Amino acid sequence: MRYEVTGRVARITLARPERGNAITLDTGRELAECVERANLDPAVHVIALAGSGKGFCGGYDLVEFAEGGEGADGEAAGPPGSPLDPAVQRANHDPGRVWDPIVDYQMMSRNVRGFMSLFRSDKPVVCKVHGFCVAGGTDLALCADLLVIEEAARIGYPPARAWGVPTTALWASRVGAQRAKRLLFTGDLVSGAQAAEWGLALEAHPAARLDEAFEALLERIALLPVNQLVMMKLVVNQAVESQALAATQTLGALLDGVARHTPEGYAFQEHAAAEGLKAAVRRRDEPFAQEA
Protein backbone atom coordinates (compact mmCIF):
# COMPACT_ATOMS: atom_id res chain seq x y z
CA MET A 1 0.00 0.00 0.00
CA ARG A 2 1.38 3.39 -1.00
CA TYR A 3 0.67 6.61 0.89
CA GLU A 4 1.43 10.13 -0.29
CA VAL A 5 0.04 13.62 0.10
CA THR A 6 -0.40 16.04 -2.78
CA GLY A 7 -1.79 19.41 -1.77
CA ARG A 8 -4.89 18.81 0.36
CA VAL A 9 -5.33 15.21 -0.79
CA ALA A 10 -3.95 12.09 0.95
CA ARG A 11 -3.62 9.28 -1.60
CA ILE A 12 -3.83 5.61 -0.59
CA THR A 13 -3.03 3.23 -3.43
CA LEU A 14 -3.35 -0.55 -3.42
CA ALA A 15 0.03 -1.54 -4.81
CA ARG A 16 0.11 -5.25 -5.61
CA PRO A 17 -0.73 -5.06 -9.33
CA GLU A 18 0.94 -8.40 -10.04
CA ARG A 19 -1.73 -10.02 -7.80
CA GLY A 20 -4.66 -7.84 -8.88
CA ASN A 21 -4.16 -5.78 -5.67
CA ALA A 22 -5.47 -8.81 -3.80
CA ILE A 23 -6.28 -8.43 -0.10
CA THR A 24 -4.01 -10.12 2.42
CA LEU A 25 -4.27 -10.51 6.19
CA ASP A 26 -2.19 -7.33 6.47
CA THR A 27 -4.40 -5.14 4.30
CA GLY A 28 -6.91 -4.03 6.94
CA ARG A 29 -4.22 -3.00 9.41
CA GLU A 30 -2.16 -1.17 6.77
CA LEU A 31 -5.24 0.60 5.46
CA ALA A 32 -6.29 1.77 8.94
CA GLU A 33 -2.78 3.10 9.57
CA CYS A 34 -2.89 5.12 6.35
CA VAL A 35 -6.34 6.51 7.16
CA GLU A 36 -5.25 7.53 10.64
CA ARG A 37 -2.15 9.20 9.21
CA ALA A 38 -4.35 11.27 6.91
CA ASN A 39 -6.79 12.15 9.69
CA LEU A 40 -3.97 13.42 11.90
CA ASP A 41 -2.47 15.58 9.15
CA PRO A 42 -4.02 19.07 9.38
CA ALA A 43 -3.05 19.76 5.76
CA VAL A 44 -5.22 16.91 4.44
CA HIS A 45 -8.86 17.63 3.62
CA VAL A 46 -9.85 14.53 1.64
CA ILE A 47 -8.56 10.97 1.10
CA ALA A 48 -8.29 9.36 -2.34
CA LEU A 49 -8.36 5.54 -2.58
CA ALA A 50 -7.33 3.81 -5.81
CA GLY A 51 -5.69 0.69 -7.18
CA SER A 52 -2.63 0.30 -9.37
CA GLY A 53 -2.31 -1.80 -12.50
CA LYS A 54 -5.20 -3.21 -14.53
CA GLY A 55 -7.93 -2.88 -11.91
CA PHE A 56 -8.89 -1.69 -8.45
CA CYS A 57 -9.01 -4.98 -6.50
CA GLY A 58 -9.68 -8.61 -7.35
CA GLY A 59 -10.68 -9.59 -3.80
CA TYR A 60 -8.81 -11.71 -1.29
CA ASP A 61 -5.57 -13.46 -2.16
CA LEU A 62 -7.05 -16.92 -1.76
CA VAL A 63 -4.05 -18.97 -2.85
CA GLU A 64 -2.93 -19.88 0.66
CA PHE A 65 -6.45 -20.78 1.80
CA ALA A 66 -8.05 -22.29 -1.29
CA GLU A 67 -5.02 -24.00 -2.84
CA GLY A 68 -3.26 -24.81 0.43
CA GLY A 69 -0.19 -22.83 -0.56
CA GLU A 70 2.02 -20.55 1.49
CA GLY A 71 0.55 -17.30 0.20
CA ALA A 72 2.10 -14.50 -1.78
CA ASP A 73 4.15 -12.89 0.95
CA GLY A 74 4.99 -15.77 3.26
CA GLU A 75 4.78 -13.48 6.30
CA ALA A 76 2.46 -13.81 9.26
CA ALA A 77 0.04 -10.92 9.78
CA GLY A 78 -0.12 -11.72 13.49
CA PRO A 79 1.80 -13.56 16.23
CA PRO A 80 2.30 -17.33 15.80
CA GLY A 81 -0.84 -19.16 16.86
CA SER A 82 -3.07 -16.08 16.50
CA PRO A 83 -6.13 -15.93 14.21
CA LEU A 84 -4.04 -13.80 11.82
CA ASP A 85 -1.29 -16.40 11.53
CA PRO A 86 -1.64 -17.89 8.00
CA ALA A 87 -0.68 -21.29 9.39
CA VAL A 88 -3.64 -21.15 11.79
CA GLN A 89 -5.97 -20.13 8.96
CA ARG A 90 -4.75 -22.91 6.68
CA ALA A 91 -5.28 -25.47 9.44
CA ASN A 92 -8.75 -24.09 10.18
CA HIS A 93 -9.73 -24.49 6.51
CA ASP A 94 -8.49 -28.06 6.22
CA PRO A 95 -11.57 -30.21 5.49
CA GLY A 96 -9.94 -33.03 7.45
CA ARG A 97 -9.92 -31.03 10.68
CA VAL A 98 -12.59 -29.67 12.99
CA TRP A 99 -13.53 -26.13 12.02
CA ASP A 100 -13.48 -23.39 14.68
CA PRO A 101 -15.95 -20.68 13.55
CA ILE A 102 -14.59 -18.17 16.04
CA VAL A 103 -11.12 -18.30 14.49
CA ASP A 104 -12.77 -17.30 11.22
CA TYR A 105 -14.78 -14.58 12.95
CA GLN A 106 -11.73 -13.14 14.70
CA MET A 107 -9.92 -12.87 11.37
CA MET A 108 -12.80 -11.45 9.35
CA SER A 109 -14.02 -9.03 12.02
CA ARG A 110 -10.54 -7.51 12.16
CA ASN A 111 -10.58 -7.12 8.40
CA VAL A 112 -13.98 -5.43 8.64
CA ARG A 113 -12.65 -2.99 11.23
CA GLY A 114 -9.74 -2.19 8.93
CA PHE A 115 -11.98 -1.65 5.90
CA MET A 116 -14.42 0.41 7.95
CA SER A 117 -11.62 2.81 8.84
CA LEU A 118 -12.59 4.37 5.49
CA PHE A 119 -16.23 4.77 6.54
CA ARG A 120 -15.30 6.00 10.02
CA SER A 121 -12.49 8.25 8.86
CA ASP A 122 -12.98 11.81 10.09
CA LYS A 123 -12.29 13.08 6.59
CA PRO A 124 -14.12 12.14 3.38
CA VAL A 125 -12.85 9.20 1.33
CA VAL A 126 -13.36 9.11 -2.45
CA CYS A 127 -12.64 5.81 -4.20
CA LYS A 128 -11.73 5.42 -7.89
CA VAL A 129 -12.50 2.07 -9.51
CA HIS A 130 -11.10 1.08 -12.89
CA GLY A 131 -10.97 -2.30 -14.59
CA PHE A 132 -12.46 -4.54 -11.92
CA CYS A 133 -13.69 -4.46 -8.34
CA VAL A 134 -14.88 -7.89 -7.27
CA ALA A 135 -15.43 -10.04 -4.20
CA GLY A 136 -13.56 -8.63 -1.17
CA GLY A 137 -12.58 -5.62 -3.27
CA THR A 138 -16.16 -4.44 -2.98
CA ASP A 139 -15.86 -4.57 0.82
CA LEU A 140 -13.13 -1.95 0.45
CA ALA A 141 -14.75 0.22 -2.21
CA LEU A 142 -18.20 0.41 -0.60
CA CYS A 143 -16.69 1.61 2.69
CA ALA A 144 -15.59 4.78 0.93
CA ASP A 145 -17.93 7.76 1.06
CA LEU A 146 -18.06 8.32 -2.70
CA LEU A 147 -17.29 5.97 -5.56
CA VAL A 148 -16.22 7.15 -9.02
CA ILE A 149 -16.03 4.30 -11.53
CA GLU A 150 -14.93 3.60 -15.07
CA GLU A 151 -17.97 2.98 -17.30
CA ALA A 152 -16.59 -0.32 -18.57
CA ALA A 153 -15.35 -1.54 -15.18
CA ARG A 154 -16.96 -4.67 -13.70
CA ILE A 155 -18.11 -4.71 -10.10
CA GLY A 156 -19.88 -7.35 -8.03
CA TYR A 157 -19.61 -10.20 -5.55
CA PRO A 158 -19.22 -13.59 -7.34
CA PRO A 159 -18.36 -15.43 -4.06
CA ALA A 160 -22.09 -15.20 -3.32
CA ARG A 161 -22.22 -18.33 -5.52
CA ALA A 162 -19.89 -20.24 -3.18
CA TRP A 163 -17.22 -19.48 -0.60
CA GLY A 164 -18.17 -16.03 0.63
CA VAL A 165 -20.53 -13.52 2.24
CA PRO A 166 -19.93 -9.74 1.98
CA THR A 167 -18.56 -8.84 5.38
CA THR A 168 -18.96 -5.06 5.36
CA ALA A 169 -22.64 -5.58 4.40
CA LEU A 170 -23.11 -2.21 2.70
CA TRP A 171 -24.92 -3.38 -0.43
CA ALA A 172 -28.46 -2.69 0.80
CA SER A 173 -27.57 0.77 2.10
CA ARG A 174 -26.11 1.60 -1.33
CA VAL A 175 -28.73 0.22 -3.71
CA GLY A 176 -31.69 -0.81 -1.56
CA ALA A 177 -32.78 -4.29 -0.51
CA GLN A 178 -34.22 -5.44 -3.85
CA ARG A 179 -31.18 -4.57 -5.99
CA ALA A 180 -28.82 -5.86 -3.32
CA LYS A 181 -30.69 -9.18 -3.44
CA ARG A 182 -30.57 -9.17 -7.25
CA LEU A 183 -26.78 -8.99 -7.12
CA LEU A 184 -26.21 -11.31 -4.17
CA PHE A 185 -28.75 -13.96 -5.26
CA THR A 186 -26.77 -14.40 -8.49
CA GLY A 187 -23.21 -13.18 -7.88
CA ASP A 188 -23.52 -11.30 -11.17
CA LEU A 189 -21.23 -8.43 -12.04
CA VAL A 190 -22.52 -5.11 -13.36
CA SER A 191 -20.77 -2.50 -15.44
CA GLY A 192 -19.60 0.78 -14.02
CA ALA A 193 -22.30 2.52 -16.03
CA GLN A 194 -25.01 0.36 -14.46
CA ALA A 195 -23.44 0.76 -11.01
CA ALA A 196 -23.85 4.54 -11.34
CA GLU A 197 -27.41 4.15 -12.65
CA TRP A 198 -28.32 2.03 -9.61
CA GLY A 199 -26.58 4.35 -7.11
CA LEU A 200 -23.85 1.84 -6.28
CA ALA A 201 -21.40 4.43 -7.60
CA LEU A 202 -21.74 8.21 -7.68
CA GLU A 203 -20.41 8.76 -11.20
CA ALA A 204 -19.28 6.66 -14.17
CA HIS A 205 -16.90 7.94 -16.84
CA PRO A 206 -15.10 6.61 -19.91
CA ALA A 207 -11.58 5.40 -19.14
CA ALA A 208 -10.08 8.44 -20.87
CA ARG A 209 -11.95 10.81 -18.55
CA LEU A 210 -11.91 8.84 -15.30
CA ASP A 211 -8.80 10.40 -13.77
CA GLU A 212 -9.87 13.92 -14.75
CA ALA A 213 -13.32 13.52 -13.19
CA PHE A 214 -11.87 11.91 -10.05
CA GLU A 215 -9.36 14.71 -9.55
CA ALA A 216 -12.00 17.40 -10.16
CA LEU A 217 -14.21 15.93 -7.44
CA LEU A 218 -11.30 15.68 -5.00
CA GLU A 219 -10.34 19.28 -5.71
CA ARG A 220 -13.87 20.53 -5.15
CA ILE A 221 -14.29 18.64 -1.85
CA ALA A 222 -10.89 19.91 -0.69
CA LEU A 223 -12.16 23.51 -0.91
CA LEU A 224 -14.21 23.02 2.26
CA PRO A 225 -12.62 23.55 5.66
CA VAL A 226 -11.72 20.31 7.42
CA ASN A 227 -14.09 21.06 10.30
CA GLN A 228 -17.06 21.37 7.92
CA LEU A 229 -16.16 18.15 6.14
CA VAL A 230 -15.94 16.27 9.43
CA MET A 231 -19.32 17.60 10.57
CA MET A 232 -21.05 16.79 7.28
CA LYS A 233 -19.71 13.24 7.32
CA LEU A 234 -20.74 12.69 10.95
CA VAL A 235 -24.32 13.73 10.20
CA VAL A 236 -24.76 11.56 7.10
CA ASN A 237 -23.00 8.52 8.58
CA GLN A 238 -25.47 8.45 11.45
CA ALA A 239 -28.24 7.62 8.99
CA VAL A 240 -26.30 4.57 7.73
CA GLU A 241 -25.24 3.48 11.21
CA SER A 242 -28.88 3.57 12.34
CA GLN A 243 -29.77 0.88 9.76
CA ALA A 244 -28.36 -1.87 12.00
CA LEU A 245 -25.01 -1.78 10.21
CA ALA A 246 -23.07 -3.13 13.21
CA ALA A 247 -25.42 -6.11 13.49
CA THR A 248 -25.29 -6.95 9.78
CA GLN A 249 -21.49 -6.72 9.76
CA THR A 250 -21.26 -9.07 12.73
CA LEU A 251 -23.54 -11.51 10.90
CA GLY A 252 -21.58 -11.06 7.67
CA ALA A 253 -18.26 -11.81 9.36
CA LEU A 254 -19.69 -14.97 10.94
CA LEU A 255 -21.47 -16.20 7.83
CA ASP A 256 -18.43 -15.62 5.63
CA GLY A 257 -16.68 -18.35 7.61
CA VAL A 258 -19.76 -20.56 7.40
CA ALA A 259 -19.82 -20.16 3.61
CA ARG A 260 -16.35 -21.68 3.36
CA HIS A 261 -17.47 -24.77 5.30
CA THR A 262 -20.69 -25.76 3.55
CA PRO A 263 -20.63 -28.84 1.29
CA GLU A 264 -20.31 -26.49 -1.68
CA GLY A 265 -17.58 -24.54 0.09
CA TYR A 266 -15.54 -27.70 0.73
CA ALA A 267 -16.05 -28.79 -2.89
CA PHE A 268 -14.79 -25.42 -4.11
CA GLN A 269 -11.70 -25.72 -1.91
CA GLU A 270 -11.03 -29.29 -3.06
CA HIS A 271 -11.21 -28.21 -6.69
CA ALA A 272 -8.86 -25.30 -5.97
CA ALA A 273 -6.34 -27.57 -4.26
CA ALA A 274 -6.46 -30.08 -7.12
CA GLU A 275 -6.77 -27.78 -10.13
CA GLY A 276 -5.76 -24.33 -8.94
CA LEU A 277 -7.90 -21.41 -7.80
CA LYS A 278 -8.58 -20.01 -11.27
CA ALA A 279 -9.88 -23.37 -12.46
CA ALA A 280 -12.12 -23.67 -9.39
CA VAL A 281 -13.53 -20.21 -10.03
CA ARG A 282 -14.20 -21.08 -13.68
CA ARG A 283 -16.01 -24.26 -12.60
CA ARG A 284 -18.10 -22.28 -10.06
CA ASP A 285 -19.01 -19.53 -12.53
CA GLU A 286 -19.57 -21.65 -15.64
CA PRO A 287 -23.34 -22.01 -15.13
CA PHE A 288 -23.58 -18.20 -14.93
CA ALA A 289 -21.61 -17.55 -18.13
CA GLN A 290 -24.56 -15.78 -19.75
CA GLU A 291 -24.96 -12.96 -17.26
CA ALA A 292 -28.06 -10.77 -17.41
Q: What is the mean pLDDT of the chain?
A: 93
pLDDT digits (tens, 9 = 90+) for 41-56: 999 999 999 999 999 9
User: How far is Cα 74 from Cα 206, in angstroms, rounded to an integer?
Assistant: 38
pLDDT at position 69 is 52
- Which residue blocks in the chain are alpha helix, DSSP H? 27-39, 86-92, 101-120, 136-141, 171-184, 192-198, 207-221, 226-241, 245-259, 263-275, 277-285
Return phi, psi of residue 168, to 5°: -85, -10
Cα separations (Å) of 145 from 97, 113, 201? 41, 16, 10
User: How far is Cα 270 from Cα 263, in angstroms, rounded to an integer?
Assistant: 11
Identify the residue with better confidence: 189 or 71.
189
Q: What mean pLDDT comes out for the span 250-274?
A: 94
Q: What mean pLDDT comes out for the span 22-26?
A: 94
pLDDT digits (tens, 9 = 90+) for 102-145: 999 999 999 999 999 999 999 999 999 999 999 999 999 999 99
User: How far is Cα 69 from Cα 86, in angstroms, rounded to an integer?
Assistant: 10
Is 2-288 a CATH 3.90.226.10 domain? Answer: yes
Domain boundaries along the sequence of the chain: 2-288
pLDDT at position 92 is 86
User: How far is Cα 213 from Cα 208, in angstroms, rounded to an integer?
Assistant: 10
Evaluate whether 135 touches 220 at the Cβ level (below 8 Å). no
Evaluate whether 75 touches 29 at the Cβ level (below 8 Å). no
pTM of the model: 0.94
Confidence of residue 72 (pLDDT cuts 50, 70, 90): very low
